Amino acid sequence: MTSSLLIPPPFVFILGALLVACLRGRLLKVVAVAVPVVSFLILYSAPDGTYGSLSFIGLDLALAEVDRLSRIFGYIFHLIAFLGLVFSLHHDDCAHYVVGLLYAGAALGVTFAGDFFTLFLFWETLTVSATFLIIARRTAGARGAALRYLLVHAAGGLCLLTGIVLHYHASGSVAFTALDLAQPGAIFIFLGFGLNCSWPLLHAWLVDSYPEATIAGTVFLSAFTTKSAVYVLARAFPGCEPLIWIGAAMVAFPIFFAVIENDLRRVLSYSLINQVGYMVVGIGIGTELAINGAVCHAYAHILYKGLLFMSMGAVIYRTGKINATDLGGLYRTMPLTAAFCMIGAAAISAFPLFSGFIAKSMIVDAAAGGHFQIVWLILVFASAGVFHHAGIKIPFFAFFSHDAGLRPKEAPLHMLLAMGGAAFMCVFLGVYPDFVYGMLPFPVDYEPYTFAHVLAQRQLLFFSALAFTLLLLAGIYPPEIRSVNLDADWFYRKGSRVFTLAADRIFNGINSWAERVLGWRLTGVLVRFFSEPGGNLQKYCMRLATEYSGAEQRADLLEQVDRRSRTATYPIGVWVLLAVLLLAIMSVLFILF
């Protein structure tokens, strides 16, 4: 085994998390931030290949497989882990750093997993550590969202496990390779991946939980879970046609929700689904250009979405508010945060010279090249819609719009540094796309900056902005309202109550009936009977006899029965009669059967 890969990146993060758990104070923060740097250097110096091959309970495992596809995801995960850790330096509690490193490590584990077994272990680690990032907010809302997150992802994980077991049973191999949906188990793997990828109807966990997490937690969450799912889809199901339509639905439906949503981090969560939709479409188309586009978009998206969540995190950190109804006019005292937010907004809207443009264009052009007319129209519509709800709405309602009277301080230095780093990358990638094009899985022959393309994109965005301006000035733009918007999570949030209520009525009903009848009445009857079984039996027969004959009850006989049963003094003849009867019954039974 050539071991220029000292330790596979996920294990560097896990070891780093263990080390960080033992540290306190300034040293804790220094080590935490150093972990992604060290891990990156190890990965950077390692040539492509398979590392950590071992045999375990009869399975051939490969802990780390480095190729062009896993490498670029590895790089971007390191970069956002670093920026996210810098952003979270205001935390003194080591739990935040431990969970953050474990979570990023788990995502890297999924990325470099060479077999389904390793993949599944890290997949579940991802779920558990993400749950703690949400619960760490320590609010009632966060606790509820974290529990729902855990349950939904546990279900998704079981679905994936079912698929893996069926796949192994049929093929005899756990190697993580491209699959065909017709293969046994593949559909379960497909759906398991899809849940983490927040496919329509499987998406509600995302918009439910991300806005409830800690401010740094959301930055982490926005990068790893969905994008590691994009990665595994790109590896297992490239060119799988249903993905085109799933992706198109993901691109389109969230923008309607985003327009009427009041919580700005929830707006960003909807727009996250929309952006991941582009990547899913790209994977579904499956040509070299489309896969390159999907990967490139994931790379760019992680940075600008992280940046947008950071800027909203900084707003929460300084004001304690995140609803558009409570914010407005913050550009006055948080100009740098506002500027970084606008760079993120320009990047997500795919303005020329920003990162979204050089990435999203590849997917849209791949759709055009494949003559997917309807998909292309949806993608272009959503491009305009993204600018509308994320590009304009986020910065406008937080930093401009009406003056909410808030005059908070500018974000702390470490947050500004993290946002600055991400903002720099958004511009750098837009200006110098060859930086990321050179890392993509397939050779790139694509030029985003043609005059016609730049003009078309600018027209689309500016006239989309005109629509916003006109609707706002005309008073038609939907006013922000404090509200909850129902989504697919309604089915399990309300459904679980119906289930609990029904289960309560049915099972607790049976339980209390059984307790009443079996526990109290029946035992009472039995106890009374068996305290004097012989006597009671005789008395019962006597009662029957007197009832039928109509004669009066003879008290002296009852007394006699009582006395005999208490002292157990029956005439010998009775015992003999009983014994003969018993033998007779047994003989009859013996003859019959």
Partner 1 sequence: MAKKQNEKKYLFDNPRNVKRLLGIFYASLVVLLGLEFFIHKHPHFAWEKWFGFYAIYGLVSCILLVLIAKYVLRPLVMRDEDYYDE
- Of 68 and 407, which CB lies nearer to partner 1 in the complex structure? 407
Q: Coil, strand or helix: which one is 72?
A: helix
Q: Please name the residue that has the structure tokens 């890392």.
A: 439
Least distance CB 389 / partner 1 (angstroms) = 8
CB of 266 to partner 1, least distance (A): 13
Q: How far apart are CA 328 and CA 479, in angstroms?
A: 13
- Span interacting with partner 1, options 378-386, 533-541, 560-568, 583-591, rule CB under 8 A: 378-386
Written as one letter, the residue type at 560 is: Q
Q: Which stretch binds partner 1 (CB under 8 A): 3-11, 239-247, 453-461, 542-550?
A: 453-461
Phi-psi region of 258 (alpha: psi -120 to 50; beta: other; left: phi over 0): alpha
Using CB under 8 A, pick the residue from 184, 369, 438, 519 that binds partner 1.
369
Cβ neighbors of 436 (< 8 A, separation 6 or more) are 72, 296, 299, 300, 358, 359, 429
State yes or no: residue 376 binds partner 1 (CB under 8 A): yes
Phi-psi region of 512 (alpha: psi -120 to 50; beta: other; left: phi over 0): alpha
Of the candidate residues 381, 396, 428, 449, the single one contacting partner 1 (CB under 8 A): 381
In the shown chain, the binding pattern of residues 259 to 298 toward partner 1, with x for contact by CB under 8 A and - for none, equals: xx--------------------------------------
Asked if residue 487 binds partner 1 (CB under 8 A), the reply is: yes
- Name which of 112 and 387 has its Cβ closer to partner 1: 387
Query: What does the alpha-carbon distance between residue 256 and residue 485 come to, in Å, rounded to a whole number?
Result: 11
By CB under 8 A, is residue 172 in contact with partner 1?
A: no
Nearer to partner 1 by Cβ, of 162 and 333: the residue is 333
Using CB under 8 A as the binding rule, whether residue 486 contacts partner 1 is answered as yes
Question: Residue 519, interface with partner 1 (CB under 8 A)?
Answer: no
Out of 3, 139, 177, 459, the residue judged to bind partner 1 by CB under 8 A: 459
User: Is residue 339 close enough to count as binding partner 1 by CB under 8 A?
Assistant: no
Residue 303 contacts residue 276 (beta carbons within 8 Å) = no
Candidates 214-222, 272-280, 397-405, 414-422; binding stretch for partner 1 (CB under 8 A): 397-405
In angstroms, the CA 431 to CA 422 distance is: 14
The CA distance from 257 to 553, in Å, is 84
**Chain residues 423-452 in contact with partner 1, contact rule CB under 8 A:** 450-452
Do residues 237 and 192 make contact, with C-beta atoms less than 8 angstroms apart? no
Which residue's entry shows tokens 């899809």?
Answer: 194
- # binding residues, partner 1 (CB under 8 A): 54
- Does 16 bind partner 1 (CB under 8 A)? Our answer is no
Residue nearer to partner 1 on the CB measure, 459 or 553? 459
Please, which residue, 30 or 201, has the CB nearer to partner 1?
201
Candidate list 128, 165, 431, 467; residue touching partner 1; CB under 8 A? 467
- The three-class DSSP label of residue 488 is coil
Which residue has tokens 């990828």? Answer: 197
Quote the tokens at residue 470.
């006109």
478 binds partner 1 (CB under 8 A): yes
Q: Which of 27, 201, 466, 588 binds partner 1 (CB under 8 A)?
A: 466
Binding-site string for partner 1 from residue 242 to residue 261, where x marks contact by CB under 8 A and - marks none: -------------xxx-xx-
Identified binder of partner 1 from the candidate list 384, 404, 417, 542, rule CB under 8 A: 384
**263, β-bridge pairs:** 323
Pick the closer one to partner 1 by CB: 369 or 443. Answer: 369
Q: Is 525 helix (H, G, I), strand (E, B) or coil?
A: helix
Q: How far is the CB of 147 from partner 1 (least distance, A)?
A: 13
Size of the chain, expressed as the number of residues it contains: 593
Shorter beta-carbon distance to partner 1: residue 49 or 144: 144
| Closer residue to partner 1, CB minimum distance, 169 or 458 | 458
**Interface pattern 530-559 for partner 1 (x via CB under 8 A):** ------------------------------
Asked if 463 is part of the footprint of partner 1 (rule: CB under 8 A), the reply reads yes
Cβ atoms of residues 381 and 364 within 8 Å: no
Q: Compute the least distance from the CB of residue 459 to partner 1, in Å.
A: 4
Determine, following the binding rule CB under 8 A, whether residue 191 of this chain makes contact with partner 1.
Answer: no
Please identify which residue in 462, 499, 570, 575 interacts with partner 1, judged by CB under 8 A. 462
**The one among 1, 57, 182, 484 contacting partner 1 by CB under 8 A:** 484
**E strand or H helix that includes residue 65:** strand 59-66
Of the two residues 188 and 205, which places its CB atom closer to partner 1 in the complex? 205
Determine contact, residues 57/123, Cβ cutoff 8 Å: no
Distance CA 483, CA 39 (A): 44
Give Cα separations from 470 to 19, 120, 175, 345, 463 (angstroms): 56, 50, 55, 20, 10
8 A C-beta contact, residue 72 and residue 107: no
Residue 28: burial class (beta carbons within 10 Å; 0-12, 13-18, 19+): buried
CB-based contact 324:262 (threshold 8 Å): yes
Q: Which of 456, 501, 537, 545 binds partner 1 (CB under 8 A)?
A: 456
CA distances (Å), 446 to each of 68, 362, 434, in order? 18, 8, 10
Q: Binding of partner 1 at residue 201 (CB under 8 A)?
A: no
Whole-angstrom Cα distance, residue 272 to residue 226? 9
By CB under 8 A, which span of 60-68, 155-163, 281-289, 454-462 interacts with partner 1?
454-462
Give residue 204's identity as a one-letter amino acid code: A
Question: Residue 525 has which token pair?
Answer: 């009857």
Nearest CB to partner 1, comparing residues 4 and 459: 459
Q: Interface with partner 1 by CB under 8 A: which residues?
A: 255-257, 259-260, 331-333, 365, 368-369, 371, 373, 376, 380-381, 384-385, 388, 400, 403, 405, 407, 450-452, 455-471, 476-478, 481-487, 493
